[in-house]
Amino acid sequence: MKIINIFGTRPEIIKFQPFIKSLHQNKINYENIYGGQHYSKNLSKVFFNDKFFKKPKYYFNYGSKFKNLNYIRELKEKIFKILIKEKPDFVFVQGDTNTTLAGSLSTLQYKKKINKNINLCHIEAGLRSKDLKMQEELNRIIIDHISDLLFAPTNLQKKNLTKENINKNKIFIVGNTLSDVLKNIKIKKKKIKQVILTMHRDENVKKKKDLSRSVTFINLIASQNNEKINFFCHPKTKQSIVKYNLSLRPNIKLEKPTNYSKFINSLFNSKYIISDSGGIQEEACILKKHLITLRYNTERPETISIGSNILSNFNYLRVKKRINYINKTLPRWKSPYGINVSKKIIDIISKNKKRSDEFDKHRLNNLLKTFKKQKAFSQKSIKKNIYNLLKLLS
């Protein structure tokens, strides 16, 4: 059995770590491909010195050369050539990034042209925000519909997949590999509790009006609570703040990107967390830290239903009420993300070596139907983006 793992961003590297460690410990043959969607040294290279994390045999810096559709198209063709050379039985992708989509599309191309028995495996399958304006939402829908084995974090994600008429026999509820990651991080408790802030999503920082709204909202929270807020500022967010000449209140301290272990310690020792990140919704939940998410929707509704997270909706009174609640309430929820997730995945693929099936017209029509069911599909820009991505299926 031979496996290819494909990743290109910091979250993917983090979540792949325990799975790759399990491959190493089980003496399973594998290689890693890094697409370089995150190309900052501080964001990626620090992860490749783990003794269990084999440095990528194939390392691209495409994130600095290509954007969005061009990145997906270029990386897809590169990975296709690598698959021809490596001849894997399984290709693993994780999450919903452009790298994940490129790896999935190249595997489908390989399946059609070279070896129909290859298996595309999607870790973190079934997440849905119902927001087609998000590139990640388009990516994960396509990835799930062309995958052979789908590893869903919870039953909620399995329900999303079966609602889209994806074969339930291909879906396995395993939890989230992030549980395996956090279990192995050494935590040092501190007495001084501070608020942690992160913000990087395009809808919050890319355009001047969106970033101005976000900064104004954060400044309002900072002014009313007068608490020290450590802002772990993504490079592109910092660049935009400087570009648009926006200012933060004095009690908001900018922090540089740090290694993952230190960041998790910061989250653990926080009073509460404010973020627009998807991954932090999971991390805060597992670490039992209250989270306020700077968004109107989430693809992780389980964090809301168990009480670890709320959506801010950029409504200050809503956030103020939540902060008052946090100050009076200890976290009591149980994480829905499982344990020993990587081991479960390896056990499943060991028993499902010939599950691969053809991506035929029926499955393509089902994918199109999934998009068309949503009202936002009628918007010209969204429809155009979807069809541009679907052209890459050929």
Q: Which of 38, 145, 200, 234 is catalytic?
A: 200
Cα dihedral: 290, 293, 296, 299 (round 10)? -80
Cβ count near 196 (within 10 Å) = 25
Cα dihedral: 368, 372, 378, 382 (round 10)? -50
Angle, CA of 133, 203 and 283, to the nearest 5°: 100
Q: Which residues contact 48 (CB under 8 A, 6 or more apart)?
A: 55, 56
Q: Which residues contact 227 (CB under 8 A, 6 or more apart)?
A: 194, 195, 251, 271
Residue ranges of alpha helices (H) inside 26-90 are 41-44, 68-86
Query: How many Cα atoms occupy the beta-carbon half-sphere of 206 within 13 Å?
Result: 3
How many Å separate Cα 50 from the centre of its chain? 21
| Distance (Å, whole) CA 218 – CA 215 | 5
Token pair listed for 13: 């590297």
| Distance (Å, whole) CA 30 – CA 56 | 10
Distances (CA, A) of 224 to 212, 228, 289, 317, 377: 18, 12, 21, 11, 40
Distances (CA, A) of 371 to 40, 121, 240, 266, 330: 34, 22, 32, 39, 41
Token pair listed for 99: 């790298």
Whether 200 is catalytic: yes
- Catalytic center residues: 200
